[in-house]
Amino acid sequence: MPVLHALLLDFDGLLADYDHRRFLLQLADAAGCDTMQLDTALRTEHIELAHARGELDGTQLLQALNSRLGVSLQASDWQRARLTATSVRRDCIGILDQLRTDVCLAVLTNNGLLTLPVLQQLLPGRTVLCSAMLGVRKPDPAAYHAACSALQCDPARTLFVDHLFRNVQGARAAGLQSDTAYHAQSLRRLLRRQHLLR
């Protein structure tokens, strides 16, 4: 097995806990509309999915959402709601400070550009690659190839870690080393087994 030189990590579910219901409540409150209406507009009409794929930028997403709901949400409303609904797992983040200094580290997440500033705020100094930037979402193997290309990393020497096995399968299909982790203990154990910690 080649010596690993890069590490790609999931965000929601591994490095942070995300409460989508809380996000909807906060955003609906900012919009002055019903939570169910908001959820329907985002999910049933696939606006949020299109945003995560990079098919709609932040302005376009908000315009579509505001038009459907008759509200006037701003980017700051979305980002405040996302921040409120996200709790970083400090124990997992702490492990990243123990990585070998020669390891290229980045977060690979299925999120749109509106959410990117929130993730960058929560992970200062870390590289965050969101699906909207890459134009493709996990678990599509093309997402991992795009991430490795952006980082100039060899897929065969890159480890991808996610809490969802379907995303791990996609990474393996793309030629990356990949495994699941669910909390700090399993993440530390995996990184130690792969000789990525100092």
Quick: pLDDT tens for 2-20: 899 999 999 999 999 999 9
Is 198 part of a structural domain of the chain? no
Distances (CA, A) of 194 to 164, 167, 186: 19, 19, 12
Kindly report the CATH number assigned to the domain that includes residue 71: 1.10.150
pLDDT at 43: 86
CA 108 to chain centre: 5
Domain boundary residue among 84, 115, 130?
84
pLDDT, tens digit, 9 for 90 and up, residues 169-191: 999 999 999 999 999 999 999 99
Report whether the peptide linkage leading into residue 139 is cis, meaning its omega lies within 30 degrees of zero: yes
Residue 157 in contact with residue 3, Cβ under 8 Å? yes
Q: 51 with 111, same domain?
A: no
Give residue 165's domain range. 6-17+87-193
Q: Is 104 part of any domain?
A: yes
Residue 11 forms part of a structural domain: yes
**Residue 143 contacts residue 107 (beta carbons within 8 Å):** no
CB hemisphere CA count around 137 (13 angstroms): 12
Clarify whether residues 97 and 152 are in a common domain. Answer: yes
Same domain, yes or no, for 70 and 92?
A: no
* Number of structural domains in the chain: 2
The per-residue pLDDT for 186 is 97
30 and 11 inside one domain:
no
pLDDT digits (tens, 9 = 90+) for 126-163: 999 999 999 999 999 999 999 999 999 999 999 999 99
* Per-residue confidence (pLDDT) for residue 143, from 0 to 100: 98
* Same domain membership, residue 96 and residue 75: no
pLDDT band, very low/low/confident/very high, at 45 (cuts 50, 70, 90): confident
DSSP for 51-115, written as a single string:
HHTTSS-HHHHHHHHHHHHT----HHHHHHHHHHTEEE-HHHHHHHTTB-TT-EEEEEE---TTT
Last residue of a domain, one of 61, 84, 107: 84
Instruction: Please report, for the domain that includes residue 121, its CATH number.
Output: 3.40.50.1000
Is a pLDDT exceeding 90 seen at residue 33?
A: yes
Q: Is residue 62 part of a domain?
A: yes
Q: Confirm if 118 and 67 have CB atoms less than 8 A apart.
A: no
Q: Are residues 75 and 98 in the same domain?
A: no
CB 65 within 8 A of CB 27: no
pLDDT at residue 44, rounded to an integer: 76
Task: Give domain status of residue 102, yes or no.
Answer: yes
CA distances from 174 to 3, 29, 123 (A): 17, 41, 26
Same domain, 49 and 103: no
Q: Which of 36, 59, 84 is the last residue of a domain?
A: 84
